[in-house]
């Protein structure tokens, strides 16, 4: 058993690496039955171990990663929306304030000055001068009476006396008291806007103060805004005409390429996909009391960029972890199942050896019993025949027929032959027990050949034994050695066709070892089988009743007596087994047959 295991180890040594790629148990097919059957389905065991561990290890990992992905994505998106919303609100406040400031200025002017003062050219000129200096952006200033006639005007154009009564803005300001226009080019051909306020006196008389503002200051507010993510902040009117220049979505007074957001009383942020699949974050606010909509447009991709980088790192880490985990589980499962497989194989081998040695012991007991029972009657035949011979020899009365003595002689020689057979049977049985004794190699070989010489004769196999005289006596287990030679010579006989040659030679290897070589000129063993012949159940004779155990038992026996066995073979040329035996066998503690 020990020997067989070491054989596996030696084989495992160079297949270990290959084994981790394709383990040995993978292709194992259970063909035997009974107690020696495999206890496990290795492929299923491996699959179970692999998939279970993989599932347990990877499911939490992947779900954690996915959860984290989702959570951080949501967080970063809401952060972006929140920031945009805040920016829109702040900007809206600034714009509202800007507009309110100018309106208040005009309000102040109409409250502080009477219609008479305002229609005075010098006075109005002074007022616009003051406004330009304090607020800036005022281009012209006009006073219009309730009939829509411009009664006073200070500005670069001569608009004095112009009738506005039919213009929409005039009706608007009369109705609501204040009017803020869209940005328009007008006949000045520079973008500007108009603010008009109505001042109603207690007597029902009213007048309108109309100021034109250039949009430069207005635009400055946006150009100074720092907006992340290639963002853009601008104002449109309800028709979607850009009121301030934008970086990416058109110039002043052009139509905005984005849809006009639906009216809402508060700041709103929404996501919008443009036609070319660019995701935009749009924040907007309808600015109260004006025809303006403030819009902040950011590119989502740009904003998400840092998160994408982090995400890629996390995914990369995840993928590497999964690969490592898979590799570890794969090799771990393979290693473990391989171990179980080897252990099971050892168990089966042990079982077989026990079974075999039990069988051999039973045969031995049977043989010795039969031999003993036969020996007694044989002794009687021997003595009776001897007596007859004596009578024939001593008393002259019986010597009339000369054939009688010949018959008795042939009975005696047959008895002798039977005796030889029973003695050999007894010898065979005797060696079932472990015992170390001094033996001669040639004696053992001749003993074994004695069993087989009849077969050799029938099949005209020529057996030559050359054992030099310098082979010393072996201190070894005679029975085991007999069995080894019996197995090997039997195998050689089986491999040879009739008329083959069997050579048995021996030589001294060194101080402690001798070797014996058994060479036949039989069919040989193909290379692919050569490394497996010592494995149990490897048999090419299965159809002819081979058990596939002979050589593995031989191997075990050789190991038991402390020797080694090797084989060389060439197909169609023959096979040669060489066993190396120690001169003195070391009795192993607890060694068994």
Partner 1 sequence: MTEKVLLIDDEQDFLDALSERMRARDMEVTTSTSAVDALKMAKKESYDAIVLDLMMPEMDGLEALQEIKKNNPELQVILLTGHATVEKGIEAMKLGATDFLEKPTDLKTLTEKIKNAHTKKMILVEKQAEEKIKKILAVKGW
Contact residues toward partner 1 (CB under 8 A) are: 368, 371-376, 378-384, 386-387, 390, 394, 415-416, 418-419, 422-423, 426, 430
Q: Compute the C-alpha angle 290/293/298, nearest 5°.
A: 155
Q: Output 294 or 378, the one with its CB closest to partner 1.
A: 378
Which of these, 515, 512, 531, lies nearest to 569 by C-alpha position?
531
What is the rounded (10 degree) CA torsion for 451, 455, 461, 466?
A: 0
Both tokens of 184, joined, read: 């328009």
Q: Output 382 or 482, the one with its CB closest to partner 1.
A: 382
Q: Output 173 or 371, the one with its CB closest to partner 1.
A: 371
How many alpha carbons fall within 13 Å on the CB side of residue 481?
Answer: 32
3-state secondary structure of 532: coil
3-state secondary structure of 484: helix
Nearest-approach distance from CB 432 to partner 1, in angstroms: 11
Nearest-approach distance from CB 431 to partner 1, in angstroms: 10
Cα torsion angle, 130, 132, 135, 141, sign: positive
Q: Output 366 or 380, the one with its CB closest to partner 1.
A: 380
Nearest-approach distance from CB 446 to partner 1, in angstroms: 19
Q: Output 359 or 423, the one with its CB closest to partner 1.
A: 423
Q: Output 415 or 461, the one with its CB closest to partner 1.
A: 415
Q: Output 75 or 366, the one with its CB closest to partner 1.
A: 366
Nearest-approach distance from CB 493 to partner 1, in angstroms: 30
Nearest-approach distance from CB 497 to partner 1, in angstroms: 39
Which of these, 456, 500, 484, lies nearest to 581 by C-alpha position?
484
Q: Output 365 or 573, the one with its CB closest to partner 1.
A: 365
Phi, psi of 270 (to 5 degrees): -140, 160
Q: In terms of residues, how long is the chain?
A: 593
For the chain, counts of helices (H) and of strands (E): 12, 16
Nearest-approach distance from CB 430 to partner 1, in angstroms: 6
Cβ neighbors of 61 (< 8 A, separation 6 or more) are 318, 321, 322, 325
Residues 507/468, Cβ–Cβ less than 8 Å: yes
Residue 307 CA to chain centroid, in angstroms? 28
Residues 124/118, Cβ–Cβ less than 8 Å: yes
Distance CA 153, CA 10 (A): 113
Q: Output 130 or 383, the one with its CB closest to partner 1.
A: 383
3-state secondary structure of 509: coil
Within 10 angstroms of residue 12's Cβ, the number of other Cβ atoms is: 13
Nearest-approach distance from CB 26 to partner 1, in angstroms: 51
Nearest-approach distance from CB 585 to partner 1, in angstroms: 17
Nearest-approach distance from CB 547 to partner 1, in angstroms: 29
Both tokens of 379, joined, read: 């002794």
Cα 36 to Cα 32, 358, 480, distances in angstroms: 7, 15, 24
Q: Output 479 or 574, the one with its CB closest to partner 1.
A: 479
Nearest-approach distance from CB 593 to partner 1, in angstroms: 16
3-state secondary structure of 189: coil
DSSP letter for each residue of 375-403: HHHHHHHHHHHHHHHHHHHH-GGGTT-HH
């Amino acid at each position: 058993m020990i020997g067989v295991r070491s054989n596996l180890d030696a084989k495992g040594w160079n297949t270990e690496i290959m084994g981790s790629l394709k383990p040995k148990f993978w292709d194992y097919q259970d063909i035997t039955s009974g107690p020696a059957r495999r206890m496990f389905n290795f492929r299923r065991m491996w699959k179970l171990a692999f998939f279970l561990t993989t599932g347990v290890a990877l499911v939490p990992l992947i779900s954690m990663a996915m959860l984290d992905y989702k959570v951080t994505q949501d967080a970063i998106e809401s952060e972006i929306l929140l920031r945009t919303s805040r920016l829109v609100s702040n900007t809206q406040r600034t714009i509202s304030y800007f507009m309110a400031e100018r309106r208040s200025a005009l309000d102040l002017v109409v409250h502080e000055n009477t219609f008479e003062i305002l229609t005075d050219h010098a006075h109005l000129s002074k007022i616009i001068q003051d406004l330009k200096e304090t607020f800036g952006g005022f281009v012209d200033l006009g006073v219009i009476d309730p009939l829509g006639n411009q009664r006073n005007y200070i500005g670069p154009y001569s608009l004095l006396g112009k009738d506005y009564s039919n213009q929409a803005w005039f009706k608007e300001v009369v109705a609501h008291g204040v009017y803020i226009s869209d940005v328009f080019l007008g006949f000045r051909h520079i973008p500007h806007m108009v603010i008009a306020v109505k001042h109603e006196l207690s007597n029902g008389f009213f007048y309108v103060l109309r100021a034109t503002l250039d949009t430069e200051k207005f635009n400055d507010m946006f150009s100074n805004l720092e907006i992340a993510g290639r963002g853009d902040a601008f104002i449109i009117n309800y028709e979607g005409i850009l009121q301030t220049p934008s970086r990416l979505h058109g110039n002043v007074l052009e139509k905005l390429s984005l849809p006009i957001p639906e009216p809402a009383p508060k700041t709103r942020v929404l996501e919008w996909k443009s036609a070319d699949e660019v995701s935009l974050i749009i924040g907007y606010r309808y600015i109260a009391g004006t025809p303006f909509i403030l819009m902040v447009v950011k590119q989502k991709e740009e904003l998400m960029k840092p998160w994408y980088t982090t995400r890629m790192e996390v995914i990369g880490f995840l993928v590497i972890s999964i690969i490592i985990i898979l590799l570890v589980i794969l090799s771990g499962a393979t290693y473990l199942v391989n171990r179980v497989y080897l252990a099971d194989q050892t168990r089966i081998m042990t079982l077989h050896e026990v079974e075999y040695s039990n069988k051999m012991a039973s045969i031995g007991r049977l043989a010795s019993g039969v031999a003993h029972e036969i020996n007694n009657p044989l002794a009687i035949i021997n003595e009776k025949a001897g007596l007859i011979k004596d009578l024939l020899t001593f008393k002259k009365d019986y010597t009339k027929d000369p054939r009688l003595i010949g018959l008795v002689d042939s009975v005696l020689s047959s008895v002798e032959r039977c005796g030889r057979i029973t003695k050999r049977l007894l010898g065979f049985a005797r060696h079932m027990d472990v015992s170390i004794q001094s033996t001669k190699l040639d004696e053992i070989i001749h003993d074994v050949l004695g069993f087989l010489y009849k077969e050799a004769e029938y099949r005209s196999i020529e057996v030559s034994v050359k054992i030099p005289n310098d082979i010393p006596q072996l201190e070894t287990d005679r029975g085991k050695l007999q069995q080894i030679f019996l197995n090997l010579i039997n195998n050689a006989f089986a491999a040879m066709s009739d008329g083959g040659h069997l050579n048995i030679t021996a030589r001294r290897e060194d101080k402690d070892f001798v070797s014996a070589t058994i060479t036949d000129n039989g069919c040989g063993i193909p290379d692919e089988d050569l490394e497996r012949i010592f494995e149990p159940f490897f048999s090419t004779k299965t159809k002819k009743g081979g058990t596939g155990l002979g050589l593995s038992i031989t191997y075990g026996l050789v190991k038991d007596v402390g020797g080694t066995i090797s084989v060389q073979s060439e197909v169609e040329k023959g096979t040669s087994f060489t066993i190396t035996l120690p001169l003195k066998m070391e009795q192993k503690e607890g060694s068994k047959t």
